[in-house]
Amino acid sequence: MAHRGTIFLDEIGEMSFPLQAKLLRVLQEQSFIPVGGTKTVNVDVRVIAATNKDLEREIAAGRFRQDLFFRLNVIPIRIPPLRERIDDIPVLVEHFLQKWNRKMGRHAQGFRPESMEFLMRYPWPGNIRELENLVERLVVLKYEGWFETGDLPPAMQAHAHGPALATGGLDLGAGRINLREATDTFQYRLIENALAITKGNKNKAAALLGLKRTTLLEMIKRRRPECQELSDV
């Protein structure tokens, strides 16, 4: 079907070793015998292959054929991950926002400046697919209006607040600490942070922490005396 045209092979690094050998043979001989066929078919095809793996590392690990790599790697093009081109994020967000507003019949206006700052700080391990999935989810759930920082996933919010949040602001190199007290402090600060982000809305704070509202309220009530004021928020 791709004769005298182009065929795109996505995620080439996932191809099994036997199939790699078959593909190499086609590329070298420019012909093949179709499954169930008896006659050789000649093909003239431009092959474009893509992968998110380091194929040289895969070769060293014995998972990818070196001869196929050299056959494919005629004109290599590296597309930087999203975290290396954060200036593209606002443009991509606008594109995906228009796309999903149109598909879902919504009227979401976009991200507040603070929310966009969170997006710019996030490392995006899932690259553009992860970004589009986020925009789609928010458009579906929000219907209209602006996306606030409290609408973003907990992992994204935690990352935006930096490494201090990851350890509850505790200095682990300062000497011995009481693990029970440290855990209690970290839990308290997470609850406090969630309530700050959601402007005191316990339902949203519970959702942000992956808890039921009743569970969050019980955790607040069980806190030490300095948390009593928090329980009245």
Query: CA torsion 154→155→157→163, rounded to 10°?
Result: 130
Domain ranges for the chain, please list them: 6-72, 83-231
User: How far is 188 from 224, CA to CA, in rounded Å?
Assistant: 9
* Helix extents (H) in the chain: 17-29, 55-60, 66-72, 89-104, 113-121, 127-142, 154-160, 163-166, 179-197, 202-208, 213-221, 228-231
pLDDT in the model for residue 231 = 41
pLDDT in the model for residue 164 = 45
pLDDT at 233 over 50: no
Asked whether this chain's domains 6-72 and 83-231 adopt the same fold, the reply is no
Tens-place pLDDT, residues 164-204: 444 444 555 545 666 676 677 677 777 877 777 777 788 88
pLDDT in the model for residue 98 = 95
CB 108 within 8 A of CB 147: yes
Tokens standing for 31?
């012909």
pLDDT at 226 over 70: no
57 alpha carbon, distance to own chain's centre: 23
pLDDT at 159 over 50: yes
Give which of 8, 1, 32 is closest to 24, Cα–Cα.
32
CA atoms within 13 A on the CB side of 197: 29
- Rounded to 10 deg, the angle between the 127-142 and 89-104 helix axes is 40
| CATH code of the domain occupying 6-72 | 3.40.50.300
* 205-208 own/partner pairs: CB under 8 Å, 24+ apart: 208/150, 208/154, 208/157
Tokens standing for 181?
């007290």
Tens-place pLDDT, residues 17-56: 999 999 999 999 999 998 898 999 999 999 999 998 899 9
| CATH code of the domain occupying 83-231 | 1.10.8.60
| Residue 161: band (very low, low, confident or very high) from pLDDT cuts 50, 70, 90 | low
Tokens standing for 142?
């929000």
The total number of residues written for the chain in this structure: 233
**pTM of the predicted model over 0.95:** no
Tokens standing for 157?
């919010």
How confident is the prediction for the chain on average, in pLDDT?
Answer: 83
Tokens standing for 21?
């050998």
Amino acid symbol at 182 = A
User: How far is 176 from 80, CA to CA, in rounded Å?
Assistant: 43
In this structure, are strands 6-9 and 31-32 parallel, antiparallel, or unpaired?
Answer: unpaired
pLDDT in the model for residue 205 = 79
